[in-house]
Amino acid sequence: MDCSVLQYIGIFTSLYFIVKIVLKIIEGSRLYIFSTYPNFSKYGKWSVVTGSTDGIGKETAIQLASRGQNIVLISRSEEKLRNVANEIESKHNVQTKCLTIDFSDDEEIYNKIADFLQGLDVGTLVNNVGIAQEISCFHEHPNLSKFLRDIIRLNVISVIKMTQVVLPGMVKRKRGLVLNLSSFAAVKPVKNYAMYSATKTFVDCFAQALSYEYESKGITIQSCMPGTVLTNITKKYGEFQKMPSPETFCKSWLATIGKARWTHGYWKHAIDGWIWSQLSTDLTQTIGEARMNRAMELEKKKRN
Ligand SMILES: NC(=O)c1ccc[n+]([C@@H]2O[C@H](COP(=O)([O-])OP(=O)(O)OC[C@H]3O[C@@H](n4cnc5c(N)ncnc54)[C@H](OP(=O)(O)O)[C@@H]3O)[C@@H](O)[C@H]2O)c1
C-alpha cells in the first residue's frame, strides 16, 4: 500500500515522540528507581548545610550524617540548631558543629562563616537556605522593600557567597560536591510568584554553568528543582497528602547525585516537570494560576 507524504510525516512524528518518551522513561528510571547513593566520603569528611533546622535542609543533614558525614549546621536559631545537632549525634556516629547565622544580614556574615570553616575538610556544600513569597503581584507584596532585600540575600547572595567560601578549598583538594536548591518554579516563569521564580532560575543557571566549569577540577555541582515538598514553606497551601515528606524527597534526591547536572529529585516531580516543560509558557501561566487559586481556597476552607 502506498503512503502519502502526509502519512510519512505522521509516522515519523509519532516515532519521534515515542522515542523521546521512551528515552525519558529510561533516564528517569536510571535516576529515580535504579540509582544508588554516592560514597559521600570521597568528597570529604564534612558536609555544610545552610538552613538546616527544618524541612529539606534538616532532612538532608540527617541523610548525609546517616552516610557517615560530619555535619556543619548553619541556621538562625541557636536552640533549633542544638536540637538538630543532638538528634544527629544521638542517632549517627558523626560529629556536628553549629553556627548561628541570619542569612538576611549583610555580607559580613560570610567572613564569620569562612573563619568557622577554616581547616575543615569540607567535601559537600548544600546551598539550601531560601524563602518563598506570598502569591502576589510584584508591587503589592507585603513589606515589599524588606521582602526584596531578604529574598535576594537568602535565595541568591547566600548561594554565591557560600560557594565563594568553600570552592577554593575544594579546588585545592581536587574533590567536592555542591548542591543547590533551586525549584520547580524555575522550569518556567511563574505569574504572581515572580521574585521566587526569578531567584530560583538564577540558582539553577548558576549551578549548571558551574557544573561545566568545575567538572574537570574534580568537583560535582548539581541543581535540584523540587516540586512541592511538605515543609513550612508549603504547608499553608494545603493539599498535604499529595506532597512527599522531606524524608521521602531527600532519600530519592540524594541518590541522583553524580548522575545528573540537574534533577527534580523525585520521580513524581520529574514527570510533572517534563510535562510542564513541554507546555507553552502562556498555558503554564493559566494552569499555574488556577492551581494556586485552588490551593488558597482549600487553605481558606481549612481555616474557617
Ligand atoms: N518545600 C518545597 O516545596 C520546596 C520546593 C522547591 C524548592 N524548595 C527550596 O528548598 C529550600 C528549603 O526549603 P524548605 O521548604 O525546606 O524550607 P523551610 O522548611 O522553611 O526551612 C528553611 C530553613 O532555612 C532556615 N532559614 C530561614 N530563614 C533563614 C535566615 N534568614 N537565616 C538563616 N536560616 C534561615 C530555617 O530556619 P528556621 O528553622 O529558624 O526557620 C529552616 O531551617 C529552599 O531554598 C526552598 O526554596 C522548597
Whole-number CA gyration radius for the chain? 21
**Rounded distance from Cα 131 to ligand 1 centre (Å):** 6
Q: Is residue 1 part of a domain?
A: no
* Rounded Cα–Cα distance for residues 170 and 176 (Å): 5
The enclosing domain of 135 has a CATH number of: 3.40.50.720
CA distance 275 to 38: 29
**Residue 87 forms part of a structural domain:** yes
pLDDT tens digits for range 72-101: 999 999 999 999 999 999 999 999 999 999
The answer to whether residue 15 is domain-embedded is no
Q: Check whether 272 has a pLDDT greater than 60.
A: yes
Residue 21 domain flag: no
Q: How many domains does the chain have?
A: 1
Could you tell me if residue 256 is inside a domain?
yes
Across the chain, what does the average pLDDT equal?
94
pTM for this prediction? 0.94
> H/E element holding 124?
strand 122-127
Any domain includes 297: yes
- For the annotated catalytic residues, the residue numbers are 196
Q: Which protein residue has the closest C-alpha to ligand 1 atom 19?
A: 55
Residue 176 domain-assigned (yes or no): yes
Full domain range(s) for residue 181:
43-303
Note the pLDDT tens digit of each residue in 156-188.
999 999 999 999 999 999 999 999 999 999 999
Residue 253, domain member (yes or no) = yes
| Any atom of ligand 1 within 6 Å of the Cβ of 181 | yes
